Amino acid sequence: MAQEEQILVIQRSLFDELGAFNGLMFDVKKYLPRIFEQGATRFMNRSEAEKDPSYKQIIPYVIMSHNGKFLSYVRGKKAGEKRLLGLRSIGIGGHINPIDCNLFTTEPYEIYLESVKREIDEEVIIETKHKDKIVALLNDDSNEVGQVHLGIVHLWSLDEPKVNRREQMITQMGFMSLDELKQAKDSMETWSGLCVDHLEKISA
């Protein structure tokens, strides 16, 4: 029998202590050092975490941009998160697993950064250099998906628009302008819709 997936979480009480919010929070320096303190994070079974809002699953959410346009795609039938099936997204990311822990570091933040690289590499092929910047945290308690997740929003500024899909669940992928994304907002997952509302600030 296959071992159940373990994912990285923090207690909801820590999020509340730091200052719970809905939407995007751009004061990342207030949150990240505490979230990635030794002992603040732990791994737990995904099946438990998905149903327990007393924990927040840490999810990197990477937005890729080039020349004023942003990578966007639709989650196809192979999507791991069935509740997001068929919705448009501008973020790529996923859960942090124990595989991201290695012999070279025990620092939670360094492990997190390695996990971001792994997640992106699993889903897309990037054939260009980029700059990575954490721009915001993202929370949405208005639905059952958002209640158990906390997003860390990255902006990857690509030198060239050379991105191809690796994961089957990614369909209809391409770079879209802000106006095009605003027109498609009604077909987006909640997190992407929230990010589209603030893309000017995210990409500033």
Q: What integer best gives the mean pLDDT of the chain?
A: 90
State the pLDDT confidence band at 204, using cuts at 50, 70 and 90.
confident
Asked if the structure places residue 1 within a domain, the reply is: no
Domain for residue 46, yes or no?
A: yes
Report if residue 51 sits inside a domain: yes
- Domain harbouring 46, CATH code: 3.90.79.10
Q: Does residue 188 form part of some domain?
A: yes
Of the two residues 204 and 89, the one the predictor is more confident about is 89
**DSSP code string of 88-127:** EES-B-----GGG-BTTB--HHHHHHHHHHHHHHHHEEE-
Averaged over 113-136, what is the pLDDT? 93
pLDDT value for 83: 52
- For the chain, the C-alpha Rg in angstroms (whole number) is 16
Q: What is the pTM of this model?
A: 0.91
At 60-111, the pLDDT tens digits run 999 999 999 999 999 875 444 445 557 899 999 889 888 756 545 568 888 8
Is 173 a member of any domain?
Answer: yes
Query: What is the domain range of residue 18?
Result: 6-202
DSSP 188: B
Q: How many domains does the chain have?
A: 1
